[in-house]
Amino acid sequence: MDFKRLDQEIRERMNKFDLNGAIDIIDEHVKAKERPELLLNRKIEILMDFGRYDVAKAVIDRSNSDFLKINVLRLLQEQDSFKEQEDFIYSEIGKRFMLDSNLWALKYHQGEFQEALDILENADLEFHPSQEFIINAIKARCLVEIGKEKEGLALLEELNTKDQNDSKMSKFYLIKAQIFHKLGKHEKELKSIKQLLDLNDIPSYFTLSKIYTLAREIHGSKLAEKVLNIIKQMDPDYLPN
């Protein structure tokens, strides 16, 4: 099985908002017992990308794989279930997979930016080179949020966006938009949102929800409506807060 080619087929379906088609491709290969754990993990990721958290949780619960159960952490993060996140990090599975290395993410999503930054800078954490790009963008936001605007913006400018995939770039543009929102630099915030929406691959439901909140608060109904329409193609029942 050529997983790279298969993933391209899946992304093509997703970019057409054909979630069922993407899932069907995966299920077909799972039935053929072609790397089922890896494919089921991709299925869970796709369901969460489309905001189908209940269905993703059901797939996780039916599995006997602890590797797949790690996805619960992302699910809890995107649903802002902070207490449950902490409990999961220190659960038996969390300890087995050393998920306490993700404690910074819990603090970050809670808005405890100084604590998140302290953990990222002082803990003995080793990130895969593929993670460093987003980790440094998160550090930049943390610095801005705690009043170190100059340092945060300098770090943001140092980041090399060349050859980063759309998944990483959507996270990057979201972080940039959040930084410029914090600083009241709305033209740059608007530019970051537009760059995110211009990516080839559609952003995740979670990212779009965050962008929608920013667009609605600052830029009026036109851009917010565009983001909302994309979200509704993923989830017709979506109701803005």
Return d(Cα 99, Cα 123) in angstroms, integer.
13
Query: Of the candidates 111, 105, 61, 64, which has an alpha carbon nearest to the alpha carbon of residue 86?
Result: 105
207-227 tens-digit pLDDT: 999 999 999 887 666 889 899
**The model scores a pTM over 0.85:** yes
What domains appear along the chain, each with residue ranges and CATH number?
Answer: 1-69 (1.25.40)
**pLDDT, mean over the chain:** 92
Quote the pLDDT of residue 1: 65
pLDDT tens digit sequence for 108-131: 999 999 999 999 988 677 787 888
Q: CB-based contacts of 214: which residues, under 8 Å, 6+ apart?
A: 177, 178, 181, 189, 193
